[in-house]
Amino acid sequence: MDNEMLEFDIGLGGGGREGDDDGLDIDDDEMVDSPSATSGGAGGGSASGGEIYLPEGDLLDLEPYEGMEFESEEAAKAFYNSYARRVGFSTRVSSSRRSRRDGAIIQRQFVCAKEGFRNMNEKRTKDREIKRPRIITRVGCKASLSVKMQDSGKWVVSGFVREHNHELVPPDQVHCLRSHRQISGPAKTLIDTLQAAGMGPRRIMSALIKEYGGASKVGFTEVDCRNYMRNNRQRSLEGDIQLVLDYLRQMHAENPNFFYAVQGDEDGSMNNVFWADPKARLNYTYFGDTITFDTTYRSNRYRLPFAPFTGVNHHGQPVLFGCAFLINESEVSFVWLFKTWLMAMSGRPPVSITTDHDAVIRSAITQVFPETRHRFCKWHIFKKCQEKLSQVFLQHPNFEADFHKCVNLNESIEEFESCWLSLVDGYDLRDHEWLQTIYSARRQWVPVYLRDTFFAEMSITQRSDSMNSYFDGYVNASTNLNQFFKLYEKALESRNEKEVKADYDTMNTAPVLRTPSPMEKQASELYTRKLFIRFQEELVGTLTLMASKAEDDGEVITYQVAKFGEDHKAYYVKFNVLEMKATCSCQMYEFSGLLCRHALAVFRVTNVLTLPSHYILKRWTRNAKSSVILEERTSVVYTNYLESHTVRYNTLRHEAFKFVDDGVKSVETYDVAMDALKVAAKKVAHETKNEGKRGMANGLVRRNLVSDGNHAKCTNDDLEGSSGQHMSEDDMDKRIREIGSELESSNRKCEVYRANLLSVLKDIEDHKMQLSIKVQNIKISMKDGL
C-alpha cells in the first residue's frame, strides 16, 4: 500500500493562540488539550465524530501494549484517554497518516497534552498583540500511543511510550484536565432547565455538585458550564434575530431619522445590533454631557444580551440615548458599538460615562472616548462585594457598614487612603485578591477621586436613578425577543409620560418659597421643580452655617464654612470677588451642576443677591428644551443689573477694608487716611449730584435727535427760548422734570406691553403642554384598546 504521511496537530490553539479566547471564558489548560473543544462544548467528542467511545470490561484496568487491537480508531482513542485519566494526564491527537489512494486515515498518534513545545514564531501569533497571555504548558513530554489500521479494518497498537517528563495529576484533580471534561446529555438537560429559570453558572454548578455527589464526579468545570450556557443562549438568539432586523427596518422606513446598524462577522452572520430613535438622538443634544452604559442584562440571569445607553434629563429622570443587542461580547465588538453610537450622536463624545466594572469595556472606552471620564458603577461593586466577601460578612456583621463609610464619607483622598488601610488591616484582608483588584481601580469608582467631573448626580452618597432603572418593571429575567419590543415601547411611553407630567407641574404650579431671598425666587423661576427643591435644600441649609474669612491674597478670599462649634468639619470656599466665582472643597457644583450650601453661605455674607449666570446650567432649567427664550433674556438682564451692582459693592468694600488695614498702622497713616477719605467723600457727593443732572440731560438730548438724510442733528428748541436766548436755570429744571415724567410714563407703558407679551407666550407654552398631554393620553388609550 502506497502511503503518504501528513503531519498536523489538532489540539486547538496549541501552537500559539494563547491569549485569544474569542470572547469565551477559558482556563489555563483550555488551549493545550484534546480536540473535544471542537465539538461546541466541553469534551463534546472526537474531532471526527462527536460521539464518546469508552472501553468496556477488563480493558479499563489494562495498560496499552504493542499489538493490542481495537475495532475502530475512536475506540483506541477512548481507551488511551481512559488510561490517561487513571494515570493523571490529558491527551490530544498529534499526527496522522492518510492513504495516497483514497485519502482515508490509516495511522494515528495520540500524545500527552504536554508533548512538544509552543511555537512562538508561528505567523498567527508573531504578527499580532497577545492581550491575554497563557502560561507555558508544553514541556516536550514523549508519552504517546500510535495505532495503525490493518487490512482487516481493525486498528492495532504499533507504538507505546509510557514515561512522562513531568508530574502527574492526582485523582482528585484529574477532572480539571481538558480531555477528561465533558458535559453529558443529562447534565445539559439540567443546565438548560436551570438557565431557563434564571440561574447563573455558579449556582447551577453548585446544584450539579450536589446532584452528582462532588465536584470531581460532575465531569466538567464552571468554565465549561459558563461557555455552554453562553453558546446555548447565542444559538437560541440566532433563530429569533430576524425579528430584530424586521422591527428596525420598519422603524427606519417610517422615519429616516431612526438610526440602526448591524455588525457582521467574517462568515456573514450577525454579531451585534445598535439602534437609536429620533427622540433619543434629540435628547442627547440636550442632556448628553453624562451617560450610563448599562450592561446588567448581559448576565446569564437574563435571556437577552441587552445594553441600553441612558442619561439624566432636566427633571433628574432617566432618558434613553440608544440600545444594543450584544451577541458577541469581545473587545472588538464593544469598540464597534461605541464608535457606532458616537456616529449616531453626531460625533460629540460625553463628558463622563458610567459602566459596570469590566476590563474589556474599559479598554474599548479608552480607545473610542480617550477624553471622556470613565467611572465604574459603585453600586455594582458593592453588590459584587457581597458575593466576593460573603464569608467576611457572616463573620463580621459590622464590615459592610465600615466598608460603605470608608468609600462614601471621606472628604479627601488622604482620608480615604488612611481609612482603607485601617479597614483591610482591621479585618485581616490586606491580601484579599478581589479587594486588591478594586483598590487598584479606585480612581474610577471611589467618589473622592471623581468629584471634579460632572455626573449629573445630586448626591455623591446616593444611587443615581438612571443606572439600571430605565427599563425596570419591563425587561426582566424571563423576557424573550418575542416579547421584547412590545415591552420596550411601553417603557418609552411610560418614561415620556412622566417627563410630560413633570413639565406640566413645573410650568403650572408655583413652589412654596421658604426664605425672602431674591436668589430663591430667581431659582424658582429658572429651575425645574425637582431641581429647585434640591437647590432650596442647599439654600435653607446656609442658615445653619457660619462663613469666616480664613485667607485673603488680594484677588481671592478663602472662607472657612462650618456649623457653629464644628470647625473640625469645615469646608473651604475660594471666592474671586471680581469674577464672582466661588469654588468649594466639597466640589458639589463640579459633580452635580448645583451650587452647594457652603458657596451659597459665602454669597450671603458677601451680599451676592442672585445666582451669577455662569452657575445656572441650562440642562437643569425649565427651558432646557424650550425654544421660547424672551422671558429668559429679560431675567438675564435683571440678573446682570444686580450682578453689576453687587460686583461694584464687593470690589469697593474689598478695597476699603485694605485701605482701613493700612490706615490704622500708625497715627500718621491714620491722619493721612482720614484726610483722603474727606476729600473722597466730597468728590463722591459732587459726582452723585452731577450724575442725576447728567442722566436727565442725556434723556433730553436723545429725545431731540432727529433724522436728516444720512445725518443726525440735535435741535436746541427745548433748551432755548422763543427769542433764541438760553433758558434760565429754573426753566431748564422745570423742562427736565416734564421730560422725566414723560419718560416714566413711557416706561410704564413698555412694562405693560412686555407683561402682556410674556403672558401670551406663557399661555402658548401652557396650551402646547396641555395638547402634548392629551396626545399622549390618546396614544395610550388606543394601544390599550388594541
Alpha-carbon distance values, 28 to 33, 118, 169, 627 (Å):
10, 14, 15, 60
Pairing of strands 290-293, 711-714: unpaired
Collapsing DSSP to helix, strand or coil, 305 comes out as: coil
* Rounded distance between C-alpha atoms, residue 377 and residue 357, angstroms: 7
Taking residue 458's Cβ as centre, other Cβ atoms within 10 Å add up to 20
Collapsing DSSP to helix, strand or coil, 714 comes out as: strand
Residue ranges of the chain with pLDDT lower than 70?
1-61, 120-134, 198, 233-240, 265-270, 298-304, 459-468, 477-478, 627-647, 649-650, 654, 691-729, 748, 751-756, 758-763, 765-770, 772-774, 776-777, 779-786
Collapsing DSSP to helix, strand or coil, 45 comes out as: coil
Which 8-state DSSP code applies to residue 453?
S
Helices (H) and strands (E) in the chain, counts: 22, 19
* Rounded distance between C-alpha atoms, residue 406 and residue 415, angstroms: 9
**Which contiguous run of DSSP H or E holds residue 321?**
strand 318-326
pLDDT at 186: 85
pLDDT at 777: 64
* Rounded distance between C-alpha atoms, residue 31 and residue 119, angstroms: 13
The answer to whether 190 and 207 have CB atoms below 8 angstroms apart is yes
Angle at 767 between CA 762 and CA 772, to 5 degrees: 125
The answer to whether 166 and 139 have CB atoms below 8 angstroms apart is yes
Burial class (CB in 10 A: 0-12, 13-18, 19+), 156: middle
pLDDT at 9: 38
**Which contiguous run of DSSP H or E holds residue 391?**
helix 390-395
| pLDDT tens for each residue of 461-507 | 555 444 557 888 787 766 777 788 888 999 999 999 999 999 999 98
The answer to whether 247 and 260 have CB atoms below 8 angstroms apart is no
In which residue are the cell numbers 412686555 written? 754
Contacts (Cβ under 8 Å, ≥6 apart) of 575: 556, 557, 558, 559, 581, 582, 602, 606
The answer to whether 92 and 29 have CB atoms below 8 angstroms apart is no
Residue in 324, 331, 391 with CA at minimum distance from that of residue 362? 331
Q: What Rg value do the Cα atoms of the chain yield, rounded?
A: 39
One-letter identity of residue 734 = K
Q: Angle between the 222-254 and 201-212 helix axes, to the nearest 10 degrees?
A: 140
